[in-house]
Amino acid sequence: SGGNCTATSGLRTKTVKFGPQTYPVTGPSTLRRYNTGRYTVSGYGITNRSWSFPSSLSPLTGTTSNSIVLEALGTSSGYVTLTYRSCGVTRSSSKYVTISNSGGGGAARGSLGEELEATISGIYPNPAVEVGTVTAGSPLKQVSVMNLLGQTMQTTPQISGREATVDVASLEAGSYLIIAVDEEGKKVHKLVVE
């Protein structure tokens, strides 16, 4: 029954404020070796962010933002974790990532996909041990090798033709960016040095 309400007071509102929140880590749960994945924690009021991950994963972007791009250089699986503060309380969120040994080399793939995808006609072998060969659809003008901090490790100027050899024997094992300049402009490719 509906009944009669005899209350004469005005409308009252109540504001509900939520306390500390825990937000999930999103991103791929499986990565192939030498491939990348983007992991993100989205939420309001997240501060003091710090990512941790297995030693087989290497960060390609900063480790203090809501999002991180990791490259699988080894095959040890484990948790990708963001520790952060929400409403002044320390929280952490994790996602287990399985690293598979299949695939090996080539352009980086994963959620980063097109950002690191090769636009050079080719680079081989990849991974490389002593030399890598860059090929392009038009004559190359210059090829540079940069580390992931953006430091130029070497430059090969005055190239004639559509192919250049890059000596990587003196570079430490890891991931590098190959910057190739040809008649069509600047193109970037990721190279793994073993």
Residue 165's CATH number:
2.60.40.1220
What tokens were used for 160? 């004639």
Q: Is the residue at 4 inside a domain? A: no
Three-class secondary structure of residue 171 per DSSP: coil
Domain match, 97 and 122 both: no
Whether residue 14 is predicted with pLDDT greater than 90 in this model: the reply is no
Domain match, 53 and 90 both: yes
Domain match, 183 and 149 both: yes
From 80, 103, 126, the end of a domain falls on: 103
From 103, 133, 156, the end of a domain falls on: 103
Q: Is the residue at 123 inside a domain? A: yes
Number of domains in the chain: 2
Q: Is the residue at 16 inside a domain? A: no
Domain match, 135 and 187 both: yes
Domain match, 168 and 122 both: yes
pLDDT grade for 107, boundaries at 50, 70 and 90: very low
Residue-level pLDDT at 39: 92
Domain match, 39 and 67 both: yes
Cα distances (angstroms) measured from residue 16 to each of 13, 19, 88: 10, 10, 18
pLDDT grade for 6, boundaries at 50, 70 and 90: low
Considering only CA atoms, which of 25, 29, 38, 31 is closest in space to residue 56? Answer: 31
Nearest 5°: the CA angle 173, 59, 68 is 160
145 lies in which domain range? 118-193
Mean pLDDT throughout 57-75?
83
pLDDT tens column, 120-179 = 456 888 888 999 888 877 788 889 898 887 788 999 877 878 888 889 999 999 988 888
Q: Is the residue at 36 inside a domain? A: yes
Residues whose CB falls within 8 Å of the CB of residue 10, separated by 6 or more in sequence, listed in order? none
Domain match, 128 and 170 both: yes
| C-alpha span between 50 and 55 (Å, rounded) | 15
From 50, 73, 103, the end of a domain falls on: 103
Mean pLDDT throughout 179-186?
77
Domain match, 75 and 125 both: no
Whether residue 72 is predicted with pLDDT greater than 90 in this model: the reply is no
Whether residue 44 is predicted with pLDDT greater than 90 in this model: the reply is no
Domain match, 160 and 93 both: no
Domain match, 126 and 89 both: no
Token match 């860059």: residue? 134
Domain match, 152 and 90 both: no
Domain match, 64 and 128 both: no
| C-alpha span between 191 and 132 (Å, rounded) | 8
Range of lowest pLDDT (14-18, 27-31, 43-47, 108-112): 108-112
Higher pLDDT: 102 or 58? It is 58
The overall average pLDDT reported for the chain is 79
